[in-house]
């Protein structure tokens, strides 16, 4: 799994790097001291977890998270901070977890193991779909535009990237995705991609 670290303290970069390297199957895809470069990177690259400090000099982590969500980025966000009082606002931007410094390897490992177990559960849920159900017709066929969006979703594009490709509003793309999930009877992109491929709707 790919992770990104965003913290304005270089000492925290070193601490996080040392801990994450002790956990299997972790790739540190990027480390940033300020949010401008991090935002640009996350718009272009697909990652699984983003570890964000809250109290940073130029832009705090909560405002940065709001910008990410507004742009259509859906990766999971884990706030790592010295401040307990920001926990509730953090979950307003759909934080995956909230870790109070000083961070421990045990606490960090629990967060990552939970993420991996949930990802595996999604895959197992799709795998348990019987051949009879896969071969059954869709409740409603996907439109041409929905098929196009489904293909781009399976390629890992964000809502913003899909909107830019077809010159649509991000809200329109989100509505299409909601319709796609409903027609395929799934809850997330992983399941949607697997189901769409089982119906030979995408490559």
The reported pLDDT for the residue numbered 130 is 45
Write out the residue range of the structural domain in which residue 91 sits.
Answer: 2-125
- Same-domain pairing of 85 and 147: no
| Tokens found for residue 161 | 């990237």
**How many C-beta atoms surround the C-beta of residue 44 within 10 A?**
8
The reported pLDDT for the residue numbered 132 is 45
Question: What angle (nearest 5°) sits at the alpha carbon of residue 157, between those of residues 56 and 145?
Answer: 135
The reported pLDDT for the residue numbered 89 is 73
Successive 10-residue mean pLDDT values, the chain, 203 residues = 93 94 91 93 91 89 89 87 76 81 90 82 54 52 90 90 91 90 85 86 87
- Same-domain pairing of 151 and 121: no
The reported pLDDT for the residue numbered 163 is 92
- Same-domain pairing of 117 and 139: no
- Same-domain pairing of 53 and 73: yes
The reported pLDDT for the residue numbered 134 is 45
Residue 203 lies inside a defined structural domain of this protein: no
């Amino acid at each position: 799994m790919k992770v990104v670290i965003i913290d304005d303290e270089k000492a925290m970069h070193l601490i996080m790097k040392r801990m994450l390297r002790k956990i299997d199957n972790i790739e540190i895809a990027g480390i940033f001291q300020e949010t401008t470069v991090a935002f640009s990177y996350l718009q272009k690259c697909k990652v699984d977890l983003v570890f964000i400090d809250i109290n940073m000099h130029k832009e705090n982590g909560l405002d940065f998270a709001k910008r990410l969500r507004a742009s259509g980025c859906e990766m999971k966000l884990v706030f790592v901070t010295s401040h307990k009082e920001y926990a509730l606002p953090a979950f307003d931007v759909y934080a995956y977890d909230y870790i109070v410094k000083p961070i421990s390897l045990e606490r960090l490992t629990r967060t990552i193991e939970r993420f991996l177990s949930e990802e595996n559960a999604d895959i197992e849920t799709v795998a348990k779909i019987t051949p009879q159900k896969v071969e059954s017709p869709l409740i409603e066929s996907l439109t041409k535009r929905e098929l196009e969006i489904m293909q781009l979703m399976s390629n890992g594009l964000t809502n913003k990237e899909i909107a830019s490709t077809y010159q649509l509003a991000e809200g329109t793309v989100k509505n299409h995705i909601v319709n796609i999930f409903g027609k395929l009877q799934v809850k997330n992109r992983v399941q949607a991609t697997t189901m769409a491929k089982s119906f030979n709707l995408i490559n």
